Amino acid sequence: MKILVTGAAGFIGMHTSERLLARGDEVVGLDNLNDYYDPRLKDNRLARLTPHPAFRFVKMDVADRAGMERLFAEEKFDRVIHLAAQAGVRYSLENPQAYIDSNVVGFMNILEGCRYSKVQHLVYASSSSVYGGNTKMPFSEHDSVDHPVSIYAATKKANELMAHTYSHLYGLPTTGLRFFTVYGPWGRPDMALFLFTKAILEGKPINVFNHGRMKRDFTYVDDIVEGVIRTLDHVAESDPGFNADQPDPGRSKAPFRVFNIGNNNPVELMGFVEAIEAALGKTAEKNFMPLQDGDVPATYANTDELNAWTGFVPATSVADGVGRFVAWYRAYYGA
């Protein structure tokens, strides 16, 4: 298939593109290579993809309406994996406008492109952040997600609503994947694993929020990619049993689905820190901090729906995943 992967120079985008190329798909990778974090990391991820004869790179912002219209009209993609977004909960407190431009305006351009070029299936990145203030664990797609606690979460919820509208009006099959704390080699420098590893190696203290009582459903990137591609291959369908008198938030009469994609096994933040310390052979100096605005104390994915739809089962333990990240970090930075 000919597949558009937006955010192809990003963490998940690079790994996804590699897997698609390895199985024989043609990939057009799009990224704006912005400086939210070190662009050199993005350049080096991209350098892993560009030698492949079935890969082409397009430097463009998804918020560029005219450019996106031209791209879709010229390329005639079979399917689209939309991973480009302004990421990060904490940064959304400082620069909310960036999230509207990329995550709302940009997503609108993706939907319009898919609509007019008759794309067979749009798979897009949502986030566990949509669960916001929910406290019932594990998080389920059947739960209401109407109480976001950051503008980042609100934009991801908006994406799901926008996708449903296009599925309903135009019959565009769309599937949203709610990612749960993805980590692994080539990861983002603003994520805890990267920050902690760097600080510990440099002998600097780490900031441990919510006094270490955070829980996260840390999910290794290879497991995420497996789930993304399985989802891409299982095109969203309407649910003939959908009951509009008691509407299920995760299903629809339209060809629309949303799924949790996580490890289904939350880990306390201190346990995660201990895994990093074990992989590095060094103990961290810890600054215990309160919960930050926009953060939630725990995430925990119920992945039964995705398993039933695609056979997805996460396979990587935190100890193994952290060990692989640390090995990559030492090799990449010579640390």
Catalytically active residues, by annotation: 152
* Residue 54: both structure tokens together: 């079935």
Unique residue bearing structure tokens 């820190």: 273
- Asked whether the beta carbons of 258 and 250 are under 8 A apart, the reply is yes
d(CA 91, CA 120): 34
CA distance 292 to 150: 11
For residue 283, give the 3-state DSSP assignment: coil
CA 327 to the chain's CA centroid:
23
CB 130 within 8 A of CB 160: yes
Smallest CA-to-CA distance from 120 within 26, 20, 233 is with 233
Decide: 266 and 300 in contact? Cβ < 8 Å: yes
The upper half-sphere exposure of residue 193, i.e. CA atoms within 13 Å in the direction of its Cβ, equals: 29
Q: How many Å apart are CA 329 and CA 13, to the nearest integer? A: 19
Dihedral angle of Cα 47, 51, 54, 56, to the nearest 10 degrees: 50
Tokens 């999230």 locate to 99
Looking up tokens 């805890």, which residue turns up?
192
Residue 199: which region, alpha, beta or left (left: phi > 0; alpha: psi -120 to 50)?
A: alpha
Q: Report the chain's C-alpha Rg in angstroms.
A: 19
